[in-house]
Amino acid sequence: MKAINRRQAFALGGGFVMLTLMPMAADAEVTNDAAKWIEKFTSGKQPAKGKISLDLPEIAENGNTVPLSINIESPMTAESYVRDVLIIADGNPNAGVATLSFTPLSGKAEASIRIRLATTQNVVAVAKMSDGTLFTEQKTVKVTIGGCGG
C-alpha cells in the first residue's frame, strides 16, 4: 500500500474537521431525517456559507404559520441563476418543508412562504446554482406553540 503523502493527509484532516464541526453548529437538537434530505439535494457535496438571506422571526408565537422569506444573490440570467432551493426544518416530524425551483424568468431569486414548525429548531436553506455550486444558510426559530399534531 502506498503511504499517504502530505497533500492527502491535509485533505483528510480537513474533511474530518468539517464532519466534527457540523453537528456542533446546530443549536437545537436534530430529531429527524434532515441530514438525509440535505445529502440527497447536494449529492454529498459541502455547501458554502453565504449568498442567501433567510428571513424568519426569531420567536414564533404560533408554529402553525411562520413567515419565511428567502432572497439569494444572483444575476438570474440564462447563464447564471439559482436553480433549486431546499428548505428544511430539523425539528419537525418530517424534515422537508419545500423545494423552490427558479428560472431566469423569475427575475429575482426571492420567495416568501408560510411554514409550520413543531418546536424550537433550526430552519436550513440550501441553494443550488445553475453551475452546480451550493450555498447554505440557517436560522434558529423559537416556537411558543407548536404547529404539528394536537
Partner 1 sequence: MADKPRIKLPKEAAKGEIIQIKTLVSHVMESGQRKDAQGKVIPRKIINKFACEFNGKPVFSCALEPAISANPYIQFDAKVDEAGTFKFSWTDDDGTVITAEEKIALKV
Q: Which stretch binds partner 1 (CB under 8 A): 1-9, 10-18, 38-46, 64-72?
A: 64-72
Q: Which stretch binds partner 1 (CB under 8 A): 7-15, 48-56, 62-70, 136-144?
A: 62-70
Distance CA 62, CA 109 (A): 27
Q: 138 Cβ partners below 8 Å, 6+ apart?
A: 25, 26, 54, 122, 123, 124, 125
Which x/- pattern, by CB under 8 A, does the window 75-114 give for partner 1?
-x------------x--xxx-xxxxxxxxxxxxx-xxxxx
Distance CA 126, CA 123 (A): 10
Q: Measured from the CB atom, is 5 or 77 closer to partner 1?
A: 77
CB 128 within 8 A of CB 84: yes
116 binds partner 1 (CB under 8 A): yes
38 binds partner 1 (CB under 8 A): no
Please tell me the count of residues contacting partner 1 according to CB under 8 A: 33
66 binds partner 1 (CB under 8 A): yes
**115-24-4 Cα angle (round to 5):** 125
Nearest approach, Cβ of residue 44 and partner 1 (Å): 21
> Is 37 exposed, middle or buried (CB count within 10 Å of its CB: 0-12, 13-18, 19+)?
buried
Q: Measured from the CB atom, is 18 or 145 closer to partner 1?
A: 145
Residues that bind partner 1 (CB under 8 A): 64-66, 76, 89, 92-94, 96-108, 110-117, 147-150
